[in-house]
């Protein structure tokens, strides 16, 4: 896709959207619900928007995952099978969406976003201690590949969905669920990118510009996440979910 089709203003706008999306994704997920509308506004065809979003989003989740491993907040043996499940689910979703109209997802996602917001409003307060190493078949065999499948098909909000299932099904404290969501989201992003790249549906130059922003946003977000108050994360998830819902409802009017 020719870079001359984009003005400096649009490219600068996309860079800053990438930075904010990277920060938001690292904390609560949902950065794609900023990136996808921004890419659409730039005039990129919808199928390229989805592929480019996977491409640029992989930078943010990748940096966050790397930093969390480096700080020993993640254990490879505990997450490798979960990452594989997310990867496989995303590959399946990515292949299927190449042959379908994405509009039907606009009717499903608002319902899920309302559910996320309500759950984090009424759910019990986070436990002070939790571990992500305890096996949970429902989480590992169903929830993770299902969210990965959604991420491969469409993507926006997948990070929040990984956090939600970690809290609801695996019974993690919210910071732990947010940390665990990073490698799972990274795996689904990479898988989705591979599929869209195979079908030739990625705008690389635009994606690289947004990746530069993602690098900054995810770096700042990761450092904040490790010292964040769990109550703040819960509030951000609720606000993020409601804002996503408002964006989708507005697009349907």
- Report how far residue 115's alpha carbon sits from residue 164's, in angstroms, rounded to the nearest whole number: 10
Q: Give per-residue pLDDT as tens, 135-173.
A: 788 999 999 999 999 999 888 778 888 988 998 899 888
- Measured between its terminal Cα atoms, the distance across the chain in Å is 30
Number of other residues whose CB lies within 10 A of the CB of residue 198: 14
For 187-210, what is the mean pLDDT? 94
Percentage of the chain surpassing pLDDT 90? 36
| Domain regions of the chain by residue span | 7-252
Q: Give per-residue pLDDT as tens, 209-218.
A: 999 998 898 8
Q: What is the pLDDT of residue 128?
A: 45
Q: How confident is the model at residue 23 (pLDDT cuts 50, 70, 90)?
A: confident
Report pTM: 0.81
Tell me the range of 52-66, 102-116, 231-245 where mean pLDDT is highest: 52-66
Q: What is the DSSP string of the chain?
A: --GGGS-HHHHHHHHHHHHHHHHHHHHTS-THHHHHHHHHHTT--HHHHHHHHHHHHHHHHHHHHHHHHHTT-S-HHHHHHHHHHHHHHHHHHHHHHTTS-GGGHHHHHHHHHHHHHHHHHHSPPPPS---S-S--HHIIIIIHHHHHHHHHHT-TTHHHHHHHHHHHTS---HHHHHHHHHHHHHHHHHHHHHHHHHTT---HHHHHHHHHHHHHHHHHHHHHHTT--HHHHHHHHHHHHHHHHHHHHHHH-
Cα radius of gyration rounded to whole Å, the chain = 17
For 50-70, what is the mean pLDDT? 90
Q: Give per-residue pLDDT as tens, 206-243.
A: 999 999 998 898 888 887 776 766 677 667 666 766 76
Q: What is the pLDDT of residue 129?
A: 45
């Amino acid at each position: 896709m020719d870079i001359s089709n984009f003005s400096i203003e649009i490219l600068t706008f996309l860079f800053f959207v990438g930075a904010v999306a990277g920060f938001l994704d690292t904390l609560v997920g949902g950065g794609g619900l900023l990136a996808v509308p921004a890419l659409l506004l730039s005039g990129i065809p919808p199928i390229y928007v989805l592929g480019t979003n996977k491409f640029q989003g992989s930078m943010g989740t990748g940096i966050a995952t790397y930093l969390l491993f480096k700080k020993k907040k993640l254990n490879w043996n505990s997450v490798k099978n979960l990452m594989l499940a997310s990867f496989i689910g995303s590959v399946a979703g990515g292949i299927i969406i190449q042959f379908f109209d994405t509009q039907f997802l606009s009717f499903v996602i608002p319902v899920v976003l309302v559910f996320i917001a309500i759950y984090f409003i009424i759910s019990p307060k986070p436990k002070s201690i939790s571990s992500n190493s305890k096996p949970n078949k429902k989480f590992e065999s169903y929830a993770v590949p299902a969210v990965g499948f959604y991420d491969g098909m469409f993507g926006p909000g997948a990070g929040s969905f990984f956090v939600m299932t970690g809290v609801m099904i695996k019974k993690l404290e919210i910071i732990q669920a947010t940390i665990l969501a990073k490698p799972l989201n990274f795996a689904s992003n990479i898988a989705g990118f591979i599929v869209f790249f195979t079908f030739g549906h990625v705008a690389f130059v635009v994606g690289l510009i947004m990746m530069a922003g993602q690098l900054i946003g995810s770096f700042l977000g990761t450092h904040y996440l490790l010292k964040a108050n769990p109550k703040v994360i819960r509030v951000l998830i609720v606000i993020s979910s409601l804002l996503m819902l408002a964006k989708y409802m507005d697009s349907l009017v």
